[in-house]
């Protein structure tokens, strides 16, 4: 027997497991949408395991917070130099950094600043 999990069920499951602090509401919505898309693309049904998701994925409010966990991934000085030489906007700079992260792992955007990654 299986139960179909709606987005609201998914969001509340983290609260029921006392894991509300792992992801914001917006983060949980983005993660749910990503899982739904993966299930559709791969013709697969994911079993909801809140603890596993909390271990496998991490939400970051911005690139600065990400760099505190993964200082070796983004060469910050490179992006500063690139911005100065190419006159890149902050949005372009952020997109270039997100692209670099995406080359290493799954990146699930939440908004212009926040994102979730599959931990690596």
The predicted structure's pLDDT at residue 49: 97
* 42-66 average pLDDT score: 95
Residues 6+ apart with CB under 8 A from 93: 79, 82, 83
Whether the per-residue pLDDT at 30 is higher than 60: the answer is yes
């Amino acid at each position: 027997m299986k139960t179909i999990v709606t987005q609201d069920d998914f969001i509340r499951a983290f609260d029921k497991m006392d894991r509300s602090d792992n992801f914001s509401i917006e983060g949980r919505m983005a993660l749910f949408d990503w899982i739904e898309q993966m299930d559709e693309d791969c013709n697969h049904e994911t079993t909801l395991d809140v603890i596993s998701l909390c271990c496998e994925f991490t939400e970051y409010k911005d690139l600065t917070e990400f760099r505190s966990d993964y200082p070796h991934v983004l060469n910050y000085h490179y992006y500063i130099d690139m911005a100065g030489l190419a006159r890149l906007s902050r949005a372009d700079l952020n997109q270039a950094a997100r692209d670099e992260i995406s080359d290493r792992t799954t990146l699930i955007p939440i908004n212009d600043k926040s994102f979730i990654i599959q931990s690596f």
